[in-house]
Amino acid sequence: MSPARRAAAFPLDSLPVKPLDAVFVRCVPQLSFDSGRPPSYFFVSGHARRLNPRGVECLYFGSDEATAGAEYDRNAAGTTAGNQPKIIFKVRAHLHGVIDLGDAYVRKRLKIHDIDLFGPWRGKRETRLQALGRAVSTQLHIAAVRFPSDAARARGQEGWNLAVFVASMTGDDRLEILGPTNKPLEVFTASPHGRKR
Amino acid sequence: MEIEALPEILLTAPAAKVPAPSWARLYRHQSATLHQIRALRGLPALTVVQAKAPASLVRQEVFLRVLAERAKHAPLAWKIVFLFDHGPRLKAEDFFSVLKWFPTHSVEFAQGAGNGAAAVEEAWAKILKERSEEPRRDPLGQITSVVRATADLRAESGRLSADRVAEAFGLSVAEVAKMLAASRQAVSKTPDAQALQEGLRHFERIARLRTILPGGDFRKWLNLQRPSLGEKAPLNLIKAKKAAVVADLVEDMLTGAPD
């Protein structure tokens, strides 16, 4: 079955979808940010990640500092990377529609299992979660997917990640990087011009 | 390849009011006046300009200049479709007067409202084709500290050098040559050959980890099993010609992307 046909097989229209207005967190090495040309906080490369196949632009954030920290530390274990200065930044996500893979009913409807959420995915052919991401990226009803963090789970914690599909953001959807004042450091909107500083 | 269903279109015109044609309902679209375009950071992938005729359009020099300026901040693959009213058959000089404002390959023309939808579809298909061919976006490659961390992998020529990569990864030149599907003799003779650059690029992306893991720690990381790689060591995957998988993991580590 082609990736497009697989994506079409998800019953997205009949899933419980909720709006979201909440703060999420990301943890990055400081060295990436303290140079002359820092990247946008909204870094999108388009390579495959747990919820998106290659070519589908997606932004990921953790539900809290503990989860973002677990994600950061996950692949640095056994080295001194964990001792390096880190930056934790917060993003307020205001999105019109989110599906929650923490909901057993949603998982059942989508036929998503623990192996999809917590199993290795790198280097594999398009996974079921990535096919779901492809389906989400081609509609406007759902802008993001909340899913459990495997890194937090490995630490015996409960933590969540949010995958925001850039192409599915519409209307007033926006992501704001919170700063020291009421003015966000950077804003990512659904408008054609996308991000603003 | 999969065809993305919903191109995002910006509709504009030199006239203050921008009427949305009926075919525009098929797409996610937004109308913008010249004033609103000035406020944009850049054009989206697909912009449709509606005008009476090329002759009247080129008189709107400010409009074209603003469009051309904002186009510089458009995504890597983008198009502007100029949709002219149905009228006398247009000639080469008419098109040329508009073309001179923009990169030729980014401009499409159509005449008559009935041809608008087909022109947009054609432009969208070309954007998708260009996207599939364009090099990866690489914002990390613009960060001074990240570039500095891999500077030693480059030869005097500025190109990546297989012998320097081998040293950084604790490999022999013969091993690197094998991973690049090249002969050891050829790699030894010209380690920074142009033909090797694409393969060496993955090694450079992996070596960016030295931004946070200098020296011996980087090599140690290469040899430690990683849960994200199915409990395989990165170096084993690299040797199995899956360096791109490791490079993506490193990019996620440097950008804090959840696993």
What single string gives the DSSP state of each residue in A1-44?
A: --HHHHHHTS-GGGS--EEEEEEEEEEEEGGGTSSSSPPPSS--
CA–CA dist B87, B80 (Å, integer): 21
| Percentage of chain A modeled with pLDDT above 90 | 55
Q: Does A72 touch chain B (CB under 8 A)?
A: yes
State the pLDDT confidence band at A193, using cuts at 50, 70 and 90: very low
* pLDDT higher than 80, residue B215: no
Closest CA to B51 of B39, B63, B38: B63
Per-residue pLDDT at B4: 45
Per-residue pLDDT at A196: 47
Residue A87, min C-alpha distance to chain B (Å): 10
Please tell me whether residue B159 adopts helix, strand or coil conformation: coil
Stretch B128-148: mean pLDDT, rounded? 72
Per-residue pLDDT at B38: 83
Q: What angle do CA B108, B113, B116 make, to 5 degrees?
A: 40
Per-residue pLDDT at B133: 59
Per-residue pLDDT at B132: 65
Per-residue pLDDT at B238: 94
| Percentage of chain A modeled with pLDDT above 70 | 87
What is the side-by-side order of every strand in the sheet holding B107-111? B28-32, B8-12, B46-51, B79-84, B107-111
Q: Where does chain B have alpha helices with state H?
A: 34-39, 54-58, 61-71, 92-99, 116-133, 144-149, 162-169, 173-179, 184-189, 197-207, 216-223, 234-239, 243-255
A contacts of B228 (beta carbons < 8 Å) = 74-75, 120, 122
pLDDT tens for each residue of B3-51 = 344 457 889 998 777 778 888 877 778 888 888 888 776 788 889 999 9
Q: Does B25 touch chain A (CB under 8 A)?
A: no
CA–CA dist B225, A83 (Å, integer): 20
Stretch A45-60: mean pLDDT, rounded? 87
Per-residue pLDDT at B12: 92
Q: Does A184 touch chain B (CB under 8 A)?
A: no
A contacts of B245 (beta carbons < 8 Å) = 122-123
The more confidently predicted of residues B20 and B134 is B20
CA–CA dist A151, B130 (Å, integer): 36
Q: What is the ipTM of this complex?
A: 0.88
Residue A18, min C-alpha distance to chain B (Å): 22
The more confidently predicted of residues A106 and B135 is A106
Dihedral class, residue A39 (left if φ above 0, else alpha if ψ from -120 to 50, else beta): beta
* pLDDT higher than 80, residue B82: yes
Stretch A79-85: mean pLDDT, rounded? 82
Length of chain B as a residue count: 259
Per-residue pLDDT at B94: 82
* pLDDT higher than 80, residue B179: yes
The first and second tokens of residue A30, run together, are 């400081």
* pLDDT higher than 80, residue B75: no
* A42-46, B71-75, B189-193: range with highest mean pLDDT: B189-193
pLDDT tens for each residue of B85-121 = 888 888 888 888 888 888 888 899 999 878 888 999 9
Cβ under 8 Å to A: B residues 106-135: 131
Q: What are the backbone dihedrals phi and psi of residue A86, each rounded to the nearest 5 degrees, phi first? A: -125, 160
Please tell me whether residue B55 adopts helix, strand or coil conformation: helix
Per-residue pLDDT at A191: 57
CA–CA dist B228, B239 (Å, integer): 17
The first and second tokens of residue B130, run together, are 């260009």
Q: Please, are residues B230 and B242 in contact by the beta-carbon 8 Å criterion?
A: no
Per-residue pLDDT at A42: 78
**Strand A144-148, strand A160-165: pairing:** antiparallel
* A36-40, A79-83, B75-79: range with highest mean pLDDT: A79-83
Per-residue pLDDT at B6: 46
End-to-end CA distance of chain B: give it in Å, rounded: 26
Number of structural domains found in chain A: 1
Q: What does pLDDT average to over chain B?
A: 86
Instruction: Please tell me what DSSP assigns to residue A123.
Output: T
Q: What does pLDDT average to over chain A?
A: 86
Q: Where does chain A have alpha helices with state H?
A: 3-8, 65-74, 104-110, 114-118, 128-137, 150-154
Q: What angle do CA A148, A153, A159 make, to 5 degrees?
A: 45
* pLDDT higher than 60, residue A132: yes
Nearest by CB to residue A43, choosing from B139, B144, B242, is: B139
Stretch B70-80: mean pLDDT, rounded? 78
Closest CA to A73 of A88, A87, A83: A83
Domains defined for chain B, CATH in brackets: 8-133 (3.40.50), 139-255 (no CATH)
* pLDDT higher than 70, residue B136: no
Per-residue pLDDT at B76: 66
Neighbours of B161 (CB within 10 A): 23
Q: Does B146 touch chain A (CB under 8 A)?
A: yes
CA–CA dist B126, B103 (Å, integer): 14
Contact B41 A193 (CB under 8 A): yes
CA–CA dist B69, B42 (Å, integer): 8
Range of the domain at A135: 3-196
Q: What angle do CA B4, B10, B13 make, to 5 degrees?
A: 145
The more confidently predicted of residues B203 and B22 is B203
pLDDT tens for each residue of B139-172 = 787 777 888 889 999 998 889 999 999 999 999 9
Nearest by CB to residue B8, choosing from A35, A48, A192, is: A192
Q: What is the pTM of this model?
A: 0.70
Nearest by CB to residue B143, choosing from A38, A120, A123, is: A38
Please tell me whether residue A174 adopts helix, strand or coil conformation: strand
